[in-house]
Amino acid sequence: MLGLPPTTKVKRPLPKAQLFKRFDWTPSQRDRFDGEVSRLDFVNWIAPRTVPAIAEGNEVKEIFVIEVALKLRDFDQNSIVLLAKSIPQRVIYLLRFEDEIRLAVYHTKLFMTDWQFLTPNSSLLILQGLNLDAVWENIVSSIGQFTVEEGNSLSEQIKDDEERAKLERQIAALERQINTTKQPRRKRELFIELQKLKSRL
C-alpha cells in the first residue's frame, strides 16, 4: 500500500484496551484517544530480516508502520504524540480517515504529511539508505520536508530549524512593530535590534 517491499508486510492488531492497560495515561487522555481512534494495526516491519539489502543501524534496529484508523479527520495531534511517546520504537504512523491517508512520524516533535487520497499505486514511503539509521533519517526528513545539513545529526537539524523558525517569527514581529512606530528614537532602537536578530540567521 505504501510502496514498501511485500516482505515487510504484517497484519497484527494492536488493541486499544491493551494500550490503555499498559500505558500510564490519564482518564482524559484515554477518553480523547478512544473518541478519535477506532483501531490500530501493525502493518509493516522494516528490518534487515525483512529487507536484506538494508543493514541494522547503530541506533535504529527496526522500524514499524502502525495504521491508525481515525474517527475524525480533524483529530487532536496530541493523541498521536501521546501514542508515539508511549511506544519506545521507531514508528511511522499511517493515519487513515475514510479514503484519505497521511503519514506521521515523531522524532523530538511530530511531523505529518498533508492528507491525500489512497490509490492502488500509492508509493508514499521510499527506503533510502544503506542502514536503518540513514533510512530513518530520510523518512523523517521526507515527511517533515526538511534537509539534514552536512555535519548535523537529525535531532540537531530539527533543533536548528526550530530556532531559525523562532528567529524568523521574531524578525517578522519586529518589522511590523517598526512599521507602526512613529517615534524616531524608538524606531532606531527597534531597527538595531532587528539587525542583531538578522545577523543570527
Q: Where along the chain do its domains lie?
A: 6-144, 154-199
Q: What is the CA angle 167-77-39, rounded to 5? A: 155
Beta strands in the chain (DSSP E): 9-13, 37-46, 63-70, 90-97, 100-106, 110-112, 116-117
Q: Which residues contact 46 (CB under 8 A, 6 or more apart)?
A: 4, 8, 54, 62, 63, 64, 65, 127, 132, 135
Select from 169, 171, 164 the least CA-distant residue to 191: 171
pLDDT tens, position by position, for the chain (201 residues)? 688 899 999 989 999 888 888 888 999 999 999 999 999 999 999 999 999 999 999 999 999 999 999 999 999 999 999 999 999 899 999 999 998 999 999 999 999 999 988 776 666 788 989 999 999 999 999 999 888 788 778 888 888 888 888 888 888 988 888 888 888 888 888 888 888 888 877
- Interhelix angle 154-180/184-199, rounded to 10 degrees, is 170
DSSP β-bridge partners for residue 65 = 44, 92
Residue 121: predicted pLDDT:
64
pTM of the model: 0.78
Q: What is the spatial distance between Cα 117 and Cα 41, in angstroms, rounded to a whole number?
A: 20
